Amino acid sequence: MNTGNKPAGDAPKGEFVITRVFNAPRDLVFRAWTEAEHLARWFGPKGCVIGVSKLELRPGGVFHFSMRTQDGTEMWGKWVFREIVAPERIVLVNSFSDAKGGITRHPGSATWPLETISTTTFAEEEGRTKVTVRWSPLNPTEKERSTFDSSHDLMKIGWTGTFDQLEAYLAKKS
């Protein structure tokens, strides 16, 4: 059951927080978030095809992936895992990347933070799973912080689409 995407009321200023409840067991939702064969089928913006270059699920490990849009544009992303507590929490540093795994700027925004930190929690609720994503810039300049802060509405749209894809994927797996 989708209870919608809800911003959390207790988010520190500048932190983006979004929550969604999925009608799937926590172990399945956690695996969908941490296993390459699952991530490639739901993660990312609607209409993108995800290619998994590398996934090392361990602190210090990397998820390096490509995103190809319908018009053929390709961009790369990179997560560096800081903490993994299965099936409860994942903390990672998120950045745009090049094909070799180097950190790059957002392809559409020269002032997007070079790195962001994300904490995703998975809470069991009577057979369903509440996922909360907390996202903030990591060591930003003032301009990067301002860009991030002013982008919350766009982030909500993006995460809503991504969560919609996850929900549809989980419905096929449950």
Per-residue CA distances from 135 to 121, 127, 157, 162 (Å) = 12, 26, 14, 15
Closest CA to 64 of 90, 56, 72, 169: 56
Mean pLDDT (whole number) for 131-144: 97
Q: What is the phi-psi region of residue 55: left when phi exceeds 0, alpha when psi lies from -120 to 50, beta otherwise?
A: beta
Mean pLDDT (whole number) for 52-65: 97
Confidence of residue 153 (pLDDT cuts 50, 70, 90): very high
pLDDT at 155: 95
- Rounded distance between C-alpha atoms, residue 64 and residue 70, angstroms: 20
pLDDT at 11 over 90: no
Contacts of 110 (CB under 8 A, 6+ apart): none
Report percent pLDDT > 90 for the chain: 87
pLDDT at 174: 76
Domain ranges (residues) in the chain: 17-173
- Rounded distance between C-alpha atoms, residue 18 and residue 159, angstroms: 8
CB of 8 within 8 A of CB of 159?
Answer: no
Strands 49-55 and 16-22: unpaired
| Fold exhibited by the domain 17-173 | Alpha-D-Glucose-1,6-Bisphosphate; Chain A, domain 4 (3.30.530)
pLDDT at 13: 65
pLDDT at 8: 41
Quote the tokens at residue 143. Answer: 């301009």
pLDDT at 49: 92
pLDDT at 10: 42
